[in-house]
């Protein structure tokens, strides 16, 4: 029975990925900064472990407690929407610390055990913002685009060692808590003249014609983990798939 470790499982995509793999019979290690076992069904195949991907000691302890894993899913992420001019630099650093450096740190930490075994899969979750340019998300897009390039290069590097690296690219997920995982108020990052420009964009986001659900992402991760064709990219959700098409 294989084991998967997923970061950022307190809500949204991470929680759904954990539940999906558990339902398929996998051993699941669901990680989050503040562990909540009540988010998941009681099972001896599902463990909840504390993990802060921006903290090296937290990463080391979590992997020690997890034991050998077959799959790592780098899902933990922080959102940031607004005009770059008014986005606080400390918040931008937080976004990169989690979305970019956190993903790199987790990946680096699991490579030794996968290399020793000669097998393993790493799935990095980015965003449809890497597939097409969207306004008012420059810093966030940069943090995810960096992982797009990182993953492509790393896939070549690790393939001879038996380690597979994949990308899953979700679209806009209005049903997730992503928009709430920042302490910045929209009015602070969208003052005039940006407020007038942003108004129709926000209206469209409130009623999207196409969007991504948590289940879409879980299914895409499942597909990426089981892919045998060498396909590197897996868009998730109707909007992301439409962008690729």
Q: Indicate which residues carry an active-site annotation.
A: 140
| Residues 126, 212: Cα–Cα separation, whole Å | 13
Q: DSSP letters along 108-174, please? A: HHHHHHHHHHT-EEEEEE--GGGTS--TT-HHHHHHHHHHHHHHHHHHHHHGGGTEEEEEEEE---T
Q: What values do phi and psi take at 55, rounded to 5? A: -125, 115
Sheet holding 3-6, edge to edge: 46-50, 27-32, 3-6, 71-74, 120-125, 163-170, 233-236
Structure tokens at 135: 């306004």
Handedness of CA 24, 9, 122, 148 (dihedral sign): positive
Please calculate the CA angle 49-181-97 and round it to the nearest 5 degrees. Answer: 70
Nearest by Cα to 224 from 160, 155, 177, 174: 155
**Residues facing 46 on adjacent strands:** 28
Q: Decide: 232 and 155 in contact? Cβ < 8 Å.
A: yes
Q: How many CB atoms lie within 10 A of CB 206?
A: 8
């Amino acid at each position: 029975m294989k084991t998967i470790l997923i970061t950022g499982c307190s809500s949204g995509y991470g929680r759904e990925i954990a539940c999906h793999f558990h339902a398929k019979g996998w051993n699941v290690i669901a990680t989050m900064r503040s562990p909540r076992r009540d988010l998941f069904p009681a099972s001896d195949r599902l463990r909840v472990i504390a993990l802060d991907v921006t903290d090296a000691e937290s990463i080391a302890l979590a992997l020690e407690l997890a034991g050998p894993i077959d799959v790592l899913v780098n899902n933990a992420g922080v959102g940031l929407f607004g005009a770059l001019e008014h986005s606080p630099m400390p918040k931008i650093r937080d976004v990169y610390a989690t979305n970019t450096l956190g993903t790199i740190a987790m990946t680096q930490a699991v490579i030794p055990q996968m290399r020793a075994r000669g097998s393993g899969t790493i799935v990095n979750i980015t965003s449809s913002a890497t597939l097409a340019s969207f306004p008012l998300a420059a810093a966030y897009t940069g943090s995810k685009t960096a992982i797009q390039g990182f993953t492509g290069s790393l896939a070549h590097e690790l393939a001879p060692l038996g380690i597979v690296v994949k990308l899953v690219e979700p679209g806009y997920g209005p049903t997730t808590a992503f928009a709430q995982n920042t302490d910045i108020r929209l009015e602070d990052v969208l003052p005039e003249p940006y407020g007038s420009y942003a108004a129709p964009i926000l209206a469209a986001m409130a009623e999207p014609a196409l969007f991504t659900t948590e289940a879409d992402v879980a299914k895409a991760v499942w597909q990426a983990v089981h892919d045998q064709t060498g396909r590197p990219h897996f868009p998730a959700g109707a909007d992301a798939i439409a962008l690729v098409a």
